């Protein structure tokens, strides 16, 4: 049993530190920029603070966090108009040419990711980047596992198309 304290405390701070990376990374991959990802992460942890409940295990808690994160991100993508701006991608400090090329590929992949419908994007981020299982993604998204499988497959196929078209 995992207890989330209702009042602000050191244990709550510890939970924030432990989980912030996953929440922010998922939000960033879905939204495409760190500023929005920060806002979403704040809101997720504030909801957790207000929720103040207990979870049967760590997996249930993680699933709850992802669910709130994805829902907030989907709300944002619905509210925001598509701007066509390139999503930012922080490059690593690597000087080798291969690393630069790799970063460019990641950037192109992020661009391609931003062209997907929001739910497909969320499914592929959770499944492929966050490494959740199909059943976990289904639980987070509130969908059937078959739906998640088809969403991810469709998304990957679409990404491949976009990336290949750019290479030509």
Residues that bind another protein (CB under 8 A): 7-8, 12-13, 16-17, 20-21, 24-25, 28-29, 34, 37-38, 41-42, 45-46, 49, 90, 92, 102, 105-106, 109, 124, 128-131, 156-157, 159-160, 163-164, 167
Q: In the bound complex, what is the minimum distance in angstroms from residue 122's beta carbon to another protein?
A: 14
Provide the token pair at 6. Answer: 């209702």
**Cβ distance to another protein smaller for residue 18 or 56:** 18
Query: 40 near 76, Cβ under 8 Å?
Result: yes
What residues contact residue 133 under an 8 Å CB cut-off, 6+ apart? Answer: none
Q: In the bound complex, what is the minimum distance in angstroms from residue 13's beta carbon to another protein?
A: 7
Q: Which of these, 108, 43, 46, 122, lies nearest to 78 by C-alpha position?
A: 122
Strand partners, 76: none
- Phi then psi for residue 58, to 5 deg, are -65, -35
Q: In the bound complex, what is the minimum distance in angstroms from residue 67's beta carbon to another protein?
A: 18
**Cβ distance to another protein smaller for residue 60 or 163:** 163
**Cβ distance to another protein smaller for residue 56 or 131:** 131
3-state secondary structure of 32: coil
Provide the token pair at 83. Answer: 């701007």
Q: In the bound complex, what is the minimum distance in angstroms from residue 109's beta carbon to another protein?
A: 5
């Amino acid at each position: 049993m995992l207890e989330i304290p209702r009042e602000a405390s050191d244990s709550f701070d510890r939970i924030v530190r432990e989980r912030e990376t996953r929440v922010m990374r998922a939000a960033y991959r879905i939204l495409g920029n760190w500023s929005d990802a920060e806002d979403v992460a704040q809101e997720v942890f504030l909801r957790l603070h207000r929720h103040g409940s207990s979870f049967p295990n760590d997996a249930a808690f993680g699933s709850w966090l992802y669910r709130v994160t994805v829902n907030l991100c989907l709300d944002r993508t619905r509210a925001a108009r598509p701007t066509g701006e390139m999503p930012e991608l922080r490059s690593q400090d690597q000087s080798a040419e291969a690393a630069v090329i790799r970063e460019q590929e990641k950037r192109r992949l992020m661009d391609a990711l931003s062209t997907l419908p929001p739910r497909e994007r969320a499914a592929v981020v959770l499944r492929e980047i966050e490494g959740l299982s199909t059943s976990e993604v289904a639980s987070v998204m509130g969908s059937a596992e078959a739906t998640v499988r088809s969403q991810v497959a469709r998304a990957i196929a679409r990404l491949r198309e976009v990336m290949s078209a750019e290479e030509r």
